[in-house]
Amino acid sequence: MHKKLALGLAISLCIQVAAAEETSTPWKGEGELGFTQTTGNTENQSLVTKLAIGYKLSSWEHTLNLNALRAEDKDELTGESYGLNLQSNYDLSQDQKQYLFGKLRYEEDRFSGYDYQSSLIFGYGHRVFDTEDRGLKLEAGVGVGQNQMVVFDQSSDSQAIGFLGLNYRQKIGAHSEFTQDLKVEGGSENVYSESNTGFKVSVTDKVAMKLSLQIKNNSEVPPDTEKTDTITAVTLVYDF
């Protein structure tokens, strides 16, 4: 159900973008790519890719984030995940501080203990401050979530969930920026939390290097599965 909904929302976003006049379609994007390979006594390699697209038209703002991770150690797969996050905001005030949002998350992580995890959330957001140098957004909402553990064959039932989110950014000097994103969503069956910390240094106007740390936690996992996963990555970022 969530796969079809994600596809429908993505198509709807593309139609809205295409229908708008070219001169009034401010959009932006960011792509990340990181690759490491070690040979000799230790043989491992990993690939991290991310794509973020933002589009704003009048009171509406849409963002689409895609990410993929694949890691191998001595030709054995040790990490594989794919994720999609789609969010639409509607401003409630002229100063754009208050907004309503709809948020869709879908993730497949082979080593998390889940076949997939998905959520659909609606809520309220507040931009505490939003300047060129720094910004802080707080969000709260409710919705439905669906988590399918690998130990079960049948489909998981949907559950009511709550959501809390924080997004902070701070420029450090003229060429670097610190970011911190936090989100918690959960109900009676599982509580999922995610922290993304990033430090980006500009190389040119369009290219930057980024060091990031991602921490993901599930309160309920199958036996012999760790509740917390961490990913540290160094990526090349291209703004477009």
pLDDT in tens, 43-65: 688 999 999 999 998 899 999 99
Q: How far apart are CA 102 and CA 8, in angstroms?
A: 14
What does the pLDDT read at residue 25? 56
Domains and CATH numbers, the chain: 2-19+27-239 (2.40.160.40)
Return the residue matching tokens 């794509």: 51
Is the pLDDT score of 151 beyond 50?
Answer: yes
Q: Do 89 and 97 touch, CB atoms closer than 8 A?
A: no
Q: For all residues of the chain together, what is the average pLDDT? A: 86
Is the pLDDT score of 222 beyond 90?
Answer: no
Of 209, 198, 196, 199, whose CA–CA distance to 238 is shortest? 209
Average pLDDT over residues 227-239: 92
Cα dihedral 16, 22, 27, 33 in deg (nearest 10): 100
Give residue 52's identity as a one-letter amino acid code.
A
Bridge partners of 65, per DSSP, are 52, 85
Question: pLDDT band at 163, cuts 50/70/90?
Answer: very high
What does the pLDDT read at residue 99? 97
Tokens representing 15 are 């139609």
Average pLDDT over residues 164-171: 97
Question: What is the chain's Cα-based Rg?
Answer: 19
The rounded Cα 11 to chain-centroid distance in angstroms is 19
Q: Do 91 and 59 touch, CB atoms closer than 8 A?
A: yes
Question: pLDDT band at 5, cuts 50/70/90?
Answer: very low
Cα 85 to Cα 3, 105, 109: the distances in Å are 12, 5, 14
More confident residue, 1 or 176: 176
Average pLDDT over residues 37-46: 69
Q: Note the pTM of the prediction, 2 decimals.
A: 0.84
Average pLDDT over residues 217-236: 91
| Across 78-92, 139-153, 196-210, 220-234, least confident range | 139-153
